[in-house]
A and B are shown apart, each in its own frame.
Chain A
Amino acid sequence: MKLVLFLAAAGLLAQDDLPARLDVVARAATAMLDGDVCRSIQTPRSAKFLLETDPRDPWKASDNFDVNDDAFIATKKTLMRLARLCPEACDVNLWMPVPASPPRIQILIRNVHEMSQFWTWGDLHQDVPAEMKRVLATGERVTVRRRPGMISVLTPVYDSLGEIAGLAEVVSQTTPDLRENVK
């Protein structure tokens, strides 16, 4: 019985410790990611189409979605290296605001575990969740537990002027789903 209690406590401790460990990665993400480069990932042409709607072409925005390879690849590699700092499998996703009224936000780079607490599969852009609004407004790091077993730390990404350009989502899962989003 004592052993069971010990193991249970150890499990809880490990789970409780996860946000702190993800927070370390989040701090590094804020330090390492270049907001100016992140802003240049989506091509101007693609950004122009992003909010366009056409009743005869519902895929207009997604068919025209495009990125600058160099900026995308450099940033993705940084995100992937940051994820290596996580003690468990984790992803570091890049989210960038979309100028719109009301404001929107888009996930701009995802990673290999295909985890996120915020992305609705397939959405090109979406409403800005309250937690992300807080990060973008205040620069605070915010820990989020929306989905059972999933923990995210949202952290700001700054540009060379010191303004918040976007945010990174450092996300992990206590029990990884090896097949989710394999589609």
Chain B
Amino acid sequence: MYHNRLWRAVALVSVCACQGADLSALPEHARPDPFGAIVAADKVPGAAPWREIHLETARGGYVSCHLVVKLPGGDYQVQIAPFPAASGIQVELYREWFHYVPSAQGYYPDALIPAPTPYRSRIPEPDNRIAKQVAQPFWLDFWTPAATPPGSYETSATLRAEGKTISLLIKLQVLRTVIPAEDAVAVDHNSYGTSWLATQYPELVSRVGADFYSSAAFYELIHAYHRVFYEHRGVFHQLGYGHAGKVGPEFAPRLEGSGASKHVAGWTQYDRHYRPLLDGSAFAGTHRGARPIPFVYLPINPEWPASFVNWGEPGYEREFINVVGEMERHFRAAGWTSTRFEMFFNHKKRYKGFPWDGDEVRFSRDDAYFREYARLLRAAVPADSPVKFVFRADVSWTMERQFKELAGLVNFWVCGGGEFGWYDYAPKLLKDRGDIVWIYGGTPPVTEASSQVTVDVIRPWIWGIDGFVHWQTTDAGEDPWFHFAGGAEALVYPGGRFGIDAPIPSVRLKIQRNAVQDVDLLNALAAHRDIRRLQAEAVRRFNDTGLSEWRTPRPPMADRNPEDVSNADYEDAMPKNPKFTHLDAAAWQRVRGYVLEQLREAK
């Protein structure tokens, strides 16, 4: 993970950098373009290709860089020699796909296609179809197990092209420190339903046939999404119901009856979906090991399990308590007691299904519905249940009121990141009462500096809260490959184009993962050091800010009636600090440098 004094450019005798074939490397934040340069968003003064790769890493984690093949054209082979077997260090090679972004009129690498080593191809890369391409980058991930003995390890990358062989030395310094297994911040990746899976995997659907949604391949695909985010130190959520209460059959047990007789009639699809996730077996074979997912949405909404036709009447309560009570017993019997099962209302009245906003309440009278559902949940779940039911609310307009009005009822807050920054007292208020606190926001598109994705990794940590949600992460658009909108709603891509029935990761996802590892290490250091000093130095290095600059003074509009406030008012109230709006690509590298210094000191 850690690039140590990475800017040394040591020319190897065997390398010809200017003419013909060339093999070099770049730090993870400097994304290459197809023409031998670095993409505009990532250019920083003094950047130069590496002629050797020197990386430093803690154990139990990844370290990464770009390996760049340059060639005027023609066939080539690139190969990474393995590290000594006893080290346990594994090398994973990915070809970087160049997405054409019409709005930027340029190419950005993001999707990462797993590549064998040796990898043989030609430039221009046939499937990427870029005229005048002369550079093909590969993402190099080095996985160092927690059991690897600290020390220095070497291997090499080799390019064969134009009758020449060019080698690049790879030196990996493995530190004594082990990255904590538990993340200091949860980085969550949200998605909605499953209909998009059929759209994004037409080849798989065609092979499986009409029974796709009941096939093993369907469930395996869902689990593959969980795996890719888990392996990248993230969480994956799939909301299983629509704004008018339609529940996808794989997201809920099958129900029968009505009123007093309503009950769970079958768990088959639910268990096929969730059992491997809730017992952790879906993650067997991953580097991080088999562990249950930490969070999951329940299918509860105003129409499930109780039908809204009975809202406000005894039948509604009976249906709710019957079914949720059965769920609690099913989860308890299965031993699913480490996952937090979230009762969460995503609907908005603008979608015309229900008369109140579950998501981002704007009209305070809607809080009454939250009180009623809190009461129902308490009635359904035994107070001493080992199953962790939580009441989650995603809040923005009225969050400050809701923190007070719904205290003790809602215990999992997912807050609009901008507004939450106005309330400097809120993290302590909420954490002191044992609530889980996340913030939410979008995903930086590929056209922004590569470090942008790390902002929402460090922000929750310095605010003293628990996580960040990317509100949508699986929608790369209709044609992400040749007419890409930028990826503001995607951090993974469908692998079908490359014969892979699973999502493939992205450069941004990997940069985010490596930043999570760093925050985990900083947080671990706080066991023996003043966390505020660690945080202050981290943000100073990140973008030359002080901790106070990460919050916005409470604006006068915060005291207005939220119903009278517009998005334009919000826009006006948000900070325009150029240290955040013009982040440089190397920002996180400086934080990493700080982490490394601390680890060496700790040693």
The 0/1 profile, CB within 8 Å of B marked 1, for residues 144-183 of chain A is: 0000000000000000000000000000000001111111
Does A12 lie at the interface of the complex (its beta carbon under 8 Å from any beta carbon of B)?
Answer: no
Residues on B with beta carbons closer than 8 Å to the beta carbon of A73: 311-312, 355
The 0/1 profile, CB within 8 Å of B marked 1, for residues 55-75 of chain A is: 011111011111111001100
Does B207 lie at the interface of the complex (its beta carbon under 8 Å from any beta carbon of A)?
Answer: no
Contact of A109 among B246, B249, B352 (CB under 8 A): B352
Residue of B nearest to A183 (CB): B192
Residues on B with beta carbons closer than 8 Å to the beta carbon of A124: 350
Instruction: Tell me whether B355 and A54 are in contact (CB under 8 A).
Output: no
Contact of B353 among A58, A62, A63, A110 (CB under 8 A): A110
Contact of A182 among B192, B352, B365, B563 (CB under 8 A): B192
Contact of B568 among A54, A69, A110 (CB under 8 A): A54
CB B583 to nearest CB in A, in angstroms, measures 25
Query: CA–CA, A60 to B350, complex, Å?
Result: 11
Q: How many A-B residue pairs have CB under 8 A?
A: 102
Does A5 lie at the interface of the complex (its beta carbon under 8 Å from any beta carbon of B)?
Answer: no
Does B416 lie at the interface of the complex (its beta carbon under 8 Å from any beta carbon of A)?
Answer: no
Q: How large is the interface on A (under 10, 10 to 19, 20 to 34, 35 or more residues)?
A: 35 or more
Does B213 lie at the interface of the complex (its beta carbon under 8 Å from any beta carbon of A)?
Answer: yes
Residues on A with beta carbons closer than 8 Å to the beta carbon of B563: 64
Contact of B309 among A57, A62, A77, A181 (CB under 8 A): A77
Contact of B351 among A68, A110, A178 (CB under 8 A): A110
Query: CA–CA, A159 to B454, complex, Å?
Result: 57
Known: A65-B349, A81-B309. A182 touches B194 (CB 8 A): yes
Does A141 lie at the interface of the complex (its beta carbon under 8 Å from any beta carbon of B)?
Answer: no
Instruction: Tell me whether A183 and B303 are in contact (CB under 8 A).
Output: no
Residues on A with beta carbons closer than 8 Å to the beta carbon of B513: none
Does B105 lie at the interface of the complex (its beta carbon under 8 Å from any beta carbon of A)?
Answer: no
Query: CA–CA, A80 to B567, complex, Å?
Result: 35
Query: CA–CA, A100 to B73, complex, Å?
Result: 61
Interface centre among A109, A122, A181 (most CB of B within 10 A): A181
Contact of B567 among A60, A67, A110 (CB under 8 A): A60
Residue of A nearest to B360 (CB): A63
Instruction: Tell me whether B308 and A183 are in contact (CB under 8 A).
Output: no
Instruction: Tell me whether A114 and B242 are in contact (CB under 8 A).
Output: yes
Known: A54-B566, A77-B311, A80-B307. A182 touches B363 (CB 8 A): no
Known: A113-B246, A180-B195, A181-B246. A56 touches B571 (CB 8 A): yes
Query: CA–CA, A139 to B239, complex, Å?
Result: 40
The 0/1 profile, CB within 8 Å of B marked 1, for residues 88-106 of chain A is: 0000000000000000001
Residue of A nearest to B240 (CB): A182
Instruction: Tell me whether A182 and B246 are in contact (CB under 8 A).
Output: yes
Does A111 lie at the interface of the complex (its beta carbon under 8 Å from any beta carbon of B)?
Answer: yes
CB B174 to nearest CB in A, in angstroms, measures 45
Does B356 lie at the interface of the complex (its beta carbon under 8 Å from any beta carbon of A)?
Answer: yes
Query: CA–CA, A112 to B305, complex, Å?
Result: 12
Query: CA–CA, A14 to B533, complex, Å?
Result: 73
Known: A63-B567, A65-B349, A110-B353. A181 touches B307 (CB 8 A): no
Instruction: Tell me whether A182 and B247 are in contact (CB under 8 A).
Output: yes
Residues on A with beta carbons closer than 8 Å to the beta carbon of B243: 110, 114, 181
Query: CA–CA, A20 to B571, complex, Å?
Result: 53
Instruction: Tell me whether A114 and B363 are in contact (CB under 8 A).
Output: no
Query: CA–CA, A64 to B356, complex, Å?
Result: 12
Instruction: Tell me whether A108 and B352 are in contact (CB under 8 A).
Output: yes
Instruction: Tell me whether B355 and A182 are in contact (CB under 8 A).
Output: no
Does B362 lie at the interface of the complex (its beta carbon under 8 Å from any beta carbon of A)?
Answer: yes
CB A32 to nearest CB in B, in angstroms, measures 14
CB A25 to nearest CB in B, in angstroms, measures 15
Instruction: Tell me whether B193 and A182 are in contact (CB under 8 A).
Output: yes
Residues on A with beta carbons closer than 8 Å to the beta carbon of B573: none
Residues on B with beta carbons closer than 8 Å to the beta carbon of A179: 193-195, 213, 248
CB A28 to nearest CB in B, in angstroms, measures 16
Residues on B with beta carbons closer than 8 Å to the beta carbon of A54: 566, 568
Query: CA–CA, A174 to B311, complex, Å?
Result: 29
Instruction: Tell me whether B349 and A67 are in contact (CB under 8 A).
Output: yes
Residues on A with beta carbons closer than 8 Å to the beta carbon of B245: 112
Does A107 lie at the interface of the complex (its beta carbon under 8 Å from any beta carbon of B)?
Answer: yes
CB A68 to nearest CB in B, in angstroms, measures 8
Does B244 lie at the interface of the complex (its beta carbon under 8 Å from any beta carbon of A)?
Answer: yes
Residues on B with beta carbons closer than 8 Å to the beta carbon of A177: 195
- Could you jot down 14 A-B contacts, CB within 8 Å? A57-B568, A63-B566, A67-B349, A109-B352, A109-B353, A112-B244, A112-B245, A112-B303, A113-B246, A122-B351, A178-B248, A182-B193, A183-B193, A183-B239
Top 9 closest pairs, chain A to chain B, by CB: A182-B193, A56-B568, A183-B192, A72-B355, A179-B195, A65-B350, A80-B309, A57-B567, A62-B350
Q: Besides the contacts A63-B397, A73-B311, A183-B239, what 19 more A-B pairs have beta carbons closer than 8 Å? A: A57-B568, A59-B567, A62-B348, A62-B350, A69-B365, A73-B312, A73-B355, A76-B308, A76-B354, A77-B309, A80-B307, A80-B308, A81-B309, A122-B351, A177-B195, A179-B213, A180-B195, A181-B242, A183-B195
Instruction: Enumerate chain A interface residues (CB-CB to B < 8 A).
Output: 54, 56-60, 62-69, 72-73, 76-77, 80-81, 106-114, 122, 124, 177-183
